[in-house]
Structure 1
Amino acid sequence: MSRFDPSEALARLSEEYLQRAAALRRDLAREHEHDSVEQAQERQNDDVLRGLLIEAEAELRRVGLARQRLAQGRYGECQRCGEPIEEARLRAMPAAEYCLGCADQE
């Protein structure tokens, strides 16, 4: 297994969420059809896009907080119990805030 670099993992994740949010904003800014049936479907699609944008922005904030913890030397420390978060969990979820035991309690 390769060495885990949290800074690199968080940077990649941040870029991914930034790109996703930008694409969603572009899609939401497009013009709607004038046909009322098409327009109704597009408005429903916009609701889904807005939900996805909210999720992307929330994940971007979580990544930002993880980057702050990394800068403060607290990355990988459970925000609830203070115990170390397992490396396998951090590899899978670089912005994880909680160890597996505390995450199950959420």
Structure 2
Amino acid sequence: MTNTANAASTTASRTRLESQLAELEARFSHLERDLDEPLNADSSEQAVEMEDDQSLEAQALLVTREIVSVKRALARIEDGEYGVCVRCGGDINPKRLDARPEAALCIHCASKEG
């Protein structure tokens, strides 16, 4: 890939990541608002709401992890290390970055984790 094509690809990835980050932060904010709602005075409703809160807390944890992953990818772009595997230092396939712009590992290293 030429430097111009690589720069264009990185710019496109940055745009996607920034958009993804905005969506994730909005989703997290919505989850926080839902979790901050006071419980219903009716004890049977409270049990249902507490179950819902457990689900919302799990979702919030997943969203938080995604936010961290996207922020790390944006930091790698800023540092000029985007597209380089953080484990082995090899190149991450551009098709992998197209599919998962936040990817920090090449497919070889990622397959070792699973």
CA RMSD of aligned residues (A): 1.2
Residue 29 of structure 1: aligned partner:
36
> 1:42-81 maps to which residues of 2 (within 5 A)?
42-81=49-88
Q: Structure 1 runs of 4+ off > 6 angstroms?
A: none
Deviation track 1:10-67 (CA, whole Å, cap 9, x = no partner) reads 1011111101100100110112221111110110110110111111111111111111
1:98 aligns to what SS in structure 2? Answer: coil
Larger % of helix: which?
Answer: 2
1:85 paired to 2:92: yes
1:97 paired to 2:96: no
Q: Aligned residues, how many? A: 104
TM norm structure 2: 0.85
Gaps in structure 1 of 5+ consecutive residues: none
Shift of 1:94: 1.0
Gaps in structure 2 of 5+ consecutive residues: 1-7
TM norm structure 1: 0.91
